[in-house]
Amino acid sequence: MRIMPWLGGVGLVLLLGVTTAFAMQRENGALPLLNLPSVAAGEVVPAGAVSDAPATNLPVRTSQPGFSGLAGTTLPRLPAPRTPAAPIVAIGSYQQVLINRDRGGARLAALSWSSCLYSTAIANARRMAAQGYISHTNGPWVDLGCGLGAQAGENVGWWSGGVNDAQLNSMFMASPDHRANIMGPYHYVATAWAVAGNGYAYIAVEFG
C-alpha cells in the first residue's frame, strides 16, 4: 500500500495478483493518447464500446483432395497463403491507452480490451466508491475465470480530485509492485472508474 500526496489531491493505490508458472512472448506496441469527457460526482465512468467483429477475407480451404493416386491426374492449385495481418488492439479507456504507452516504451506488446475483465473492474470500482475506501476482494481470481491466461493481476486506487487517469497512472508507475502489473506478461486489460458522492474517484484495473 502506498499513500501519495500531489498538489490538488491525495491518492492511494493497492495491488493484488494471482499467478501460476507460465511463459509468454513479448512484442512491441504503443498507442496514441485520447480525450475522454469529464465526469460529475455520482457517475460511473464507462469503459466504452469495443468491436468484436469477426475477421474477413481469410483464405477458404477447398474441399478438393490435395493429391490423386491416378497417373496423369492434374493436381488442383490451392490459393497461396496470405500474410496474417497485424493484431488490432481494442481500446476501451484512456487508462488503457496510458498503460500501453508505458508498455510500448519498454518494447512490450500492447494490451487489448477485455469485456470480461471490465465486468470485474466496474464491479470493484462501484464497490469501493460505495464503501468509501479502496480494497481488494477476489478480483484476480474472477479474472482468471475469463480464460485469458494463467496469470491475473489487479491495481486499485483513488483520487480525491475526481477522475484523473494521468495522475493514477503516474502513481501506479511510481510504485514498483503496481508497475510490475502494468509491465507484466499479460495480453488483456480493462479499467473502470466510479465516483462517490463526495467527489472522490475510485479506479480498478484488471489484467489477464
3-state SS, residue 181 = helix
Cβ–Cβ under 8 Å, residues 206 and 190: yes
Q: For the whole model, what pTM was predicted?
A: 0.64
**pLDDT tens digits for range 158-197:** 999 999 999 999 999 999 999 999 999 999 999 999 999 9
Distance CA 178, CA 156 (A): 9
The confidence band for 91, taking pLDDT boundaries of 50, 70 and 90, is confident
Backbone angles phi, psi at 16, to 5 degrees: -155, 140
Q: Are strands 112-113 and 188-195 parallel, antiparallel or unpaired?
A: parallel
**pLDDT tens digits for range 60-88:** 333 333 322 323 434 456 566 666 555 56
Cβ–Cβ under 8 Å, residues 120 and 190: yes
The confidence band for 127, taking pLDDT boundaries of 50, 70 and 90, is very high
3-state SS, residue 205 = strand
Q: What is the DSSP string of 20-32?
A: -S-----------
